[in-house]
Structure 1
Amino acid sequence: MIAAMTSWSAPTLTAGEGVDATVVVPGSKSETNRALVLAALSDGPSVITGGLSSRDADLMRAALAQLGTDIGEVDGAWHVTPPTRFTVPTEPIDCGLAGTVMRFVPAIAVLNGGRTSFVGDPHASVRPMGPLLSALRQLGAGTDADALPFTQDASGGLSGRRVEIDSSTSSQYVSALLLAGARYPDGIEVAHVPTAPGADVPSRPHIDMTVTMLRRHGVTVTTPDPNTWQVSPGPIVAADEQVEPDLTSASVFLAAAAIAGGTVRVPGWPEQTTQGGAAIVEVLTRMGADCTLEGVDGGGHGTLRVTGNPPLVGPGEVNLQASSELTPVVAALAALAEGTTTITGVAHIRGHETDRLAALAAELGAVGAEVSETPDGLHIVGRGPGALRGAPMKAYADHRLAHTAALVGLAVPGVELDDIACTSKTIADFPGMWDELVGSGRG
């Protein structure tokens, strides 16, 4: 891992220095942590291959170990043996700034029949947790707060089946309850009941991923309507998992080709996927890049090749509700493009690692981009990289904001990021991988 709060000068490519690189992207953070949770909840040992090595995954493995799960590593694969009964940790579980840890693990810990405390990074206390903890209270678990840090008490056991929550701030509440629901005495029924009429659940592909993975483990999941999910009680069958590459993490490298010109190839790209990050292909195509999936094998995986044709073209309206993690990359592309971009459907990312909309508006504004917040996104007027200037940019301890600065700095000299270390959340050595990418354009 990179040392905390490491400042970084973003490397720049001059006109004509197009990239030419093949980037092997680490495993999907979303799939990795779901695979770990399901392995810990299963009825026997299993093996996870291709799992992401990052701070978020390390935090998840440590949290599950505190609950009694044994996770060993052999030749890069994780061998997971679930406990006969989940234990009560003697120390608080550290969630860091990981949404999957702070939301998935409490839904598991209620199965230990005791008191479990959770803590996190300083920024973690502002990440929304209330709807999940409300659901656990509806099932009989007590909690002493609605945000980190908190302690939950499951000593009274669980009862009931249906919970009603407002999931408009995160799909992870739904996924957390579905992942553990088969182990609850009566299973679970999760109903999204929005406080604001019409407020939808964001990032639905992440729920689709949860449901798909549960079914691979023999769990019965039904969806009687778009806002209700039902999980039948019963065993979660142990099954080995192969984790896909993280398509959202791949997006920053693919975007580099669109900005600088040249070609970036990402092997292992799935022809069909529940990852929201796959939407980057449509965005890049609309902005002028050529995207082709080549050499698809019998397992439905090939190499995605993106070739840039600068200058970038503002795509107009881009709805990222189902793939909101792409917002920082798309915002960087929009600031460097010629024309307007309006990103919609992402109001909920104000509650991510930081208020991403405010942070993007501030940091892109610092380099001279014309950016304004809207109720559910951003409006960006792009005038090309020549209209921007080098300046300090802040990451807000958010790996995706660091990716924004890297992309802007690729075309604008003088971008100085205050914290590149936060990229270890999803990519163990992002600076090294980025240097190799930029180096490919310099010959």
Structure 2
Amino acid sequence: MVPNPAPTALWPAPYAGGAVDATVHVPGSKSVTNRALVLAALASEPGWLRRPLRSRDTLLMAGALRAMGVGIEETVSSSSSVAGGTGEAWRVLPAGLGGPATVDVGNAGTVMRFLPPVAALADGPIRFDGDPRSYERPLNGVIDALRVLGARIDDDGRGSLPLTVHGGGALDGGPVEIDASSSSQFVSALLLSGPRFNQGVEVRHTGSSLPSLPHIRMTVDMLRAVGAQVDSPESGGEPNVWRVTPGALLGRDLTVEPDLSNAQPFLAAALVTGGKVLIPDWPARTTQPGDRLREIFTEMGGSCELTDYGLEFTGSGAVHGIDVDLGDVGELTPGVAAVAALADSPSTLRGVAHLRLHETDRLAALTKEINELGGDVTETADGLHIRPRPLHAGVFHTYEDHRMATAGAIIGLAVEGVRIENVATTAKTLPDFPDLWTGMLGA
């Protein structure tokens, strides 16, 4: 079991007395690592993950797969100086999935949503449980879809955790309709295991807007990379419909990209201090939503250059407000809101109503915490309106949400006396954040 980081004493967010000038090695992508673990576990042969992220969410995923019988061997290079296990390699040894087993999902959306379809392929009951907040996060899209596809699930009618999947060793699969407007992970969950279903799977989204489409594109690209046949809207298929053909998945040797969303606070540091930050190994082509930071933060006053070495981002000394739809990249909202609170003009962040169902209600949390530091933020139906005001010292609460903690740290660069509650919650996806942050500042 991987415990949730315990709340610690209030962390004094470092104040930047001048322009930042640093190179920051960002650990691997959580989204890529956890998808790769699932696909490797379902493959017909062993595979490797190199430079995976080693954080609470990924350790929960690895632990869950081990509980169902998958072998995951870890090696560590003592020469690595990069946080988050960049010198690591994980060898994944697929095996017959089985139970009984208990899976701790923590508060990881990828674990609680991606693994019930895997459990339906196991031979025996798999129980899923997690942190108290995980009980409040939507899971009905996956549960209802799996039942249509032939799975037996006990959830006492809640449509949420805790639950037990009674795996029968196989699943019929076939067509299914779901409303994924509350989480794109509902779609990804079914696609990832789809090649192992007897009839494959056809997922049809029937709701209104579908958030975080780049994450579905990431799922599709990674499936194709291990040999799966996938029809998707982006490849000329029917809108809002994804089809996965049944077939064996190949083991592969994958090097995990840096987590571009976790690069956000470091790029923001360059923007708000008028400094420069280099993120090595930024990919020239990626499906990670964080790649859009290049566009967003450039519009807010910075400039960037993508070289063979990585991404160099430079602040101009001015921070401008922005009117932006973040529906596809909702996870960037806390960091964008923090920068917007320090801008020279108002901002409107739109398309992110679904953030009310994330690790915490991020829209309410951002509004409360920025306003308690003297800000002027109001919630809208689908986002935030931020009018910059002079901010002052105070406590920035995190609600056990890693992106709230990094948002508070961004504000602390420009506002002396900000203290972050439970900065250890960043271990969910960004291990050693406090050390990375102070290292960036030369402390």
Pairwise TM-score range, normalised by the shorter structure:
over 0.9
TM-aligned CA deviation for residue 2 of structure 1: 9.4
Secondary structure class of the residue paired with 1:269 = coil
Q: For residues 144 and 360 of structure 1, what CA distance do their matches in structure 2 show?
A: 36
Tell me the residue number matched to 1:313.
320
Asked whether 1:370 is paired with 2:376, we answer yes
Tell me the residue number matched to 1:299.
none
| 374 and 206 in structure 1: CA distance in 2 versus 1, 3 angstrom threshold | same
1:21-420 superposed matches below 5 A: 21-75=22-76, 76-83=88-95, 85-90=96-101, 92-145=102-155, 146-155=159-168, 158-194=171-207, 199-223=208-232, 224-294=237-307, 296=308, 302-315=309-322, 317-383=323-389, 387-420=390-423
Structure 2: stretches of 5+ with no match in the other structure: 77-87
Q: For residues 292 and 399 of structure 2, what CA distance do their matches in structure 1 show?
A: 25
TM-aligned CA deviation for residue 246 of structure 1: 0.2
Secondary structure class of the residue paired with 2:441 = helix
Q: Is the 8 A contact 1:140 1:154 kept in 2?
A: no
Q: Return the TM-score normalized by structure 1.
A: 0.93
- The letter for the 1-side match of 2:23 is T
More moved, 146-155 vs 283-292 = 146-155
Deviations 1:357-416 (A, max 9, x none): 111111111111110111111110124xxx111111110100000011000111111111
Q: For residues 275 and 410 of structure 1, what CA distance do their matches in structure 2 show?
A: 26
Structure 1: stretches of 5+ with no match in the other structure: 297-301
| 2 and 179 in structure 1: CA distance in 2 versus 1, 3 angstrom threshold | closer
Q: For residues 245 and 86 of structure 1, what CA distance do their matches in structure 2 show?
A: 30
Deviations 1:294-327 (A, max 9, x none): 2x2xxxxx41111112231112x11111111100
Q: Is the 8 A contact 1:95 1:102 kept in 2?
A: yes
- The letter for the 1-side match of 2:49 is I
Secondary structure class of the residue paired with 2:431 = coil
Deviations 1:400-438 (A, max 9, x none): 000110001111111111111100011110000111112
Secondary structure class of the residue paired with 2:54 = coil
Aligned residues: 422
Q: For residues 97 and 423 of structure 2, what CA distance do their matches in structure 1 show?
A: 37
Q: Is the 8 A contact 1:18 1:262 kept in 2?
A: yes
Q: Is the 8 A contact 1:140 1:157 kept in 2?
A: no
More moved, 269-278 vs 146-155 = 146-155
TM-aligned CA deviation for residue 202 of structure 1: 0.6
Q: Is the 8 A contact 2:124 2:167 kept in 1?
A: yes
Q: Is the 8 A contact 1:259 1:310 kept in 2?
A: yes
Asked whether 1:426 is paired with 2:429, we answer yes
Q: For residues 162 and 341 of structure 1, what CA distance do their matches in structure 2 show?
A: 42
TM-aligned CA deviation for residue 111 of structure 1: 0.2
Q: For residues 2 and 167 of structure 1, what CA distance do their matches in structure 2 show?
A: 28
TM-aligned CA deviation for residue 328 of structure 1: 0.4
- The letter for the 1-side match of 2:90 is W
Q: For residues 153 and 41 of structure 1, what CA distance do their matches in structure 2 show?
A: 18
TM-aligned CA deviation for residue 270 of structure 1: 0.9
Q: For residues 216 and 262 of structure 2, what CA distance do their matches in structure 1 show?
A: 19
TM-aligned CA deviation for residue 3 of structure 1: 5.1
